[in-house]
Structure 1
Amino acid sequence: IDMTSLVEGYILVPITFSCVFGLLFMIYNNYMWKIRFLNKIWNVPNISGRWKCEGNTYKKSPSESQRTGCRGIERQYSWEGSVTIIQKWNSILISLSTDKSNSESFMAQIEVIDNKSCQLLYAYKNVTIPGAFVDMRGHEGICRITFSESLTFGAGEYFTNPKDRLSYGTMKWIRV
């Protein structure tokens, strides 16, 4: 048995291929997918960056919700925050910070709508900061934001897990 050809063929080739593939994937995953030409081919919108967030929170008791549905609900309070999105080709992380709490996504999805706008759907875990509102406590929830075609503005709703905190609201995001 010729050990030289065995080492070259069965060991060095797969190691070399794996290293080259890993390097190319890392470059594409972090940088190249953001190039406009490649971005249009794969149809993955780039929403990474910082966003200013304006939100409104609404709240109803479960019995009131059953009686009246979602009509005639008054805003409980308004709030402001900042959103940071760290996006790669194969992953996305959304962080929202306000003066009362911080939240971070643990699952996210971007869906392109009619090749024009896109929708971000993510699940998050929220941790409150000391001094938050009495009814504000750590919770999990779901958020859905629809972005404009230019990807400079987004608007949508969020819903919290009823076992943690029964509330919901609206948000507007403006790219900073």
Structure 2
Amino acid sequence: MREHDYSFHGGLNRAKVGRYLTLVATSISGTVVFVLLSAVDVAKRYGLNVNLPPAILSLVGAGMVYTVLFWTLNRYAWRWPFLNAALKVPDLAGRWSCEGRSLKPDGSVGYTWSATLTIFQTWDKIRVRMKTDQSGSDSIAAALICDDAEGYRLLYNYRNDPNIGEVELRSHLGSCMLLFSKDIQSAEGEYFNGHGRFTFGMMSLKRDHGKGHQ
């Protein structure tokens, strides 16, 4: 499975970010082209035979500059503190220890389980991978909400596939809603399974420090 797009609510609109990047790319490209052409003119005044190949101008064109800026923002710059404060996109990437509780219809605990949840995240894509001793699941769609009052909410749908040999388990689809703390070090959530396995329950996450970003 690969990372997929996710919707984001509560922060700086992505369309606006794209417009800002376009303006910055146009300004940078125009400035660099002006400097290069001016340098050529100066060189010719001193009798130097200097030519500026079209390939050089294409490398500093607005489209190329935009591509570089977007790649930098998407992979790295969105995590920089001053940009992250404006974008309001929480950095959830990394590994999380998960403790789950499957509930019975009356609300009592049916059984407990443990898992490792790994989040791969860039500015515009995400993937949530959960692994237990019996099965693994991957997100197929997600939405992230910035809640100034409580923290950050991650809602995602997933597909779960049991390990070979787990004859009592079936592949199934499910949904999960997690509320991350404001310091992004823990989370509490609920999950609901269906279309193959009708269970529901609660889960708690704690960030696994020392694993680095994904």
TM-score computed with the length of structure 1 as normaliser: 0.80
**Residue from 64, 67, 79 that aligns with 1:22:** 67
SS in 2 for 1:52: strand
Cα deviation code 1:11-36 (max 9, x no counterpart): x6699322221111011100000011
Structure 1 position 141 matched with structure 2 position 194: no
Cα deviation code 1:90-134 (max 9, x no counterpart): 111100000000000011111011265101000000010134372
Asked if 1 retains the 8 angstrom alpha-carbon contact of 2:97 and 2:115, the reply is yes
Task: State the superposition RMSD in angstroms.
Answer: 2.1
Structure 2 equivalent of residue 152 of structure 1: 185
Structure 1 position 38 matched with structure 2 position 83: yes
SS in 2 for 1:24: helix
Asked if 2 retains the 8 angstrom alpha-carbon contact of 1:94 and 1:105, the reply is yes
Asked if 1 retains the 8 angstrom alpha-carbon contact of 2:58 and 2:64, the reply is no
Q: Which runs of 5+ in 1 are unaligned?
A: 1-7, 60-69
2: CA distance between counterparts of 1:119 and 1:14?
41
**Quick one: structure 1 residues 153 and 83, their matched pair in 2 at CA, closer, same or farther if it must change by over 3 Å?**
same
Q: Which runs of 5+ in 2 are unaligned?
A: 1-53, 209-214
**Quick one: structure 1 residues 13 and 116, their matched pair in 2 at CA, closer, same or farther if it must change by over 3 Å?**
farther
2: CA distance between counterparts of 1:132 and 1:150?
38
Task: Report the structure number with the largest CA radius of gyration.
Answer: 2
**Residue from 35, 51, 56 that aligns with 2:101:** 56
2: CA distance between counterparts of 1:116 and 1:132?
39
**Residue from 101, 104, 107 that aligns with 1:73:** 107
Shift of 1:37: 1.2
2: CA distance between counterparts of 1:41 and 1:75?
41
**Residue from 160, 171, 175 that aligns with 1:126:** 160
2: CA distance between counterparts of 1:170 and 1:130?
26
One-letter code aligned to 1:39: N
Structure 1 equivalent of residue 147 of structure 2: 113
Structure 1 equivalent of residue 17 of structure 2: none
SS in 2 for 1:25: helix
**Residue from 101, 116, 121 that aligns with 1:87:** 121
TM-score computed with the length of structure 2 as normaliser: 0.67
Aligned pair count reads 154
Asked if 2 retains the 8 angstrom alpha-carbon contact of 1:121 and 1:143, the reply is yes
Shift of 1:144: 0.3
